[in-house]
DNA sequence: CGGGTATGTAAGCCACGGCTTACGTTTCGT
DNA sequence: ACGAAACGTAAGCCGTGGCTTACATACCCG
C-alpha cells in the first residue's frame, strides 16, 4: 500500500513523532499539543494533517477546539507489516548463518 | 535513542526500503542490488550507507565485491520500540473508549 | 452582537536529501 | 603486469519538506 509509505514518512520526522507520542497519553487539542513543543502552533497543525493522511490519528470537532487522538488502525497496519517482514528477514538471516556453519564446526 | 530516528528516517525512503526488502531475501552485492532498481549504482551505495548507519544492515568484503545483509539487531530494536508504544497507545485508546461509554449505554 | 479564542490555510524561505556524473582505489583475471 | 570489474566518495543540481508569519474562518462568552 501507499499507506505504508505515508506512515513511514510521517513517523520519520522527530517533531511529528513527538506530537504522536504526546498523543499516546490521551486525546489533546492542537494548542494543547503546541504548548511545550519547540515549534509554532501552525506547524503542529500541519504535522497533524500529515499524521491524519497516514491514518495514524483521527480528529473530531469539540466546540471551537479540534481534538486529535491516536488511530490504532493505522498503527496496527504498520506493525503488521513489520511483523511479516521481521519473520521473513529473520528466516533468511538464520538460513545464511547455518550455511556459514556448514563446514565450520561439524561434530 | 538517536538510533531510532536514524532507523525511521532510513525506512522512510521508498527506494531505500526497496533495497532493504530485496536484502531480506538474502545477502547481495551492491551491483546485484542495483540491477533491477530504477536508480544508479552509486545511489544504491549511498542508500546502503544510510541503512548501515541506522544499524539495519551489515557488510563484509568478499573479494572485490562488498556483500550486504540484514542486521536483525537494528530491526529488533525498532520493533521493540513499536511494541512498547503499541501497548501504551492502545491502553490510552481503550481508556478513552470506556470513558465515552461511561454514560452511553449502562445496563 | 462584539471581542477574544482556537484552528486551518496560503505564501514564502531555507536547509536537507536523493540523484547523477566523474573520479580514485582495490581486487580479479589473463 | 595490465586491463577490466566492483565499489566508495566528491561535487553539484534540483525538488521536497518543515518552519514562520500573515490571513481567513468558525465558535464561545458576555
DSSP state of A40: -
Nearest to B24, CA basis, from B69, B63, B87: B69
Specify the pLDDT at position B58: 96
Strand C lies under 7 A from the Cβ of residue B37: no
Nucleotide nearest A49, CA–C1', reads C8
Summarised one tens digit per residue, pLDDT across range B32-84 is 999 989 999 999 999 999 999 999 999 999 999 999 999 988 888 788 888 88
- E strand or H helix at B60, and its extent? strand B57-62
Q: Which residues contact B107 (CB under 8 A, 6 or more apart)?
A: none
Specify the pLDDT at position B55: 95
Dist. CA B3–CA B55, nearest whole Å: 8
* Subunit contact B85:A11, Cβ cutoff 8 A: no
Residue A51 in grid coordinates: 499524521
Dist. CA A94–CA B25, nearest whole Å: 11
* Min Cα separation B63/chain A (Å): 17
Residue A104 pLDDT > 60? no
DSSP state of B45: H
Amino acid at each position: 500500500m501507499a499507506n505504508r509509505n505515508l506512515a513511514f514518512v510521517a513517523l520519520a520526522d522527530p517533531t511529528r513523532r513527538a506530537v504522536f507520542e504526546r498523543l499516546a497519553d490521551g486525546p489533546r487539542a492542537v494548542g494543547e499539543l503546541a504548548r511545550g513543543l519547540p515549534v509554532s502552533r501552525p506547524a503542529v497543525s500541519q504535522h497533524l494533517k500529515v499524521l491524519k493522511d497516514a491514518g495514524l490519528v483521527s480528529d473530531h470537532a469539540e466546540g471551537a477546539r479540534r481534538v486529535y487522538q491516536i488511530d490504532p488502525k493505522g498503527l496496527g497496519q504498520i506493525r503488521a507489516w513489520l511483523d511479516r517482514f521481521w519473520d521473513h528477514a529473520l528466516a533468511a538471516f538464520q538460513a545464511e548463518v547455518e550455511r556459514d556453519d556448514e563446514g565450520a564446526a561439524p561434530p
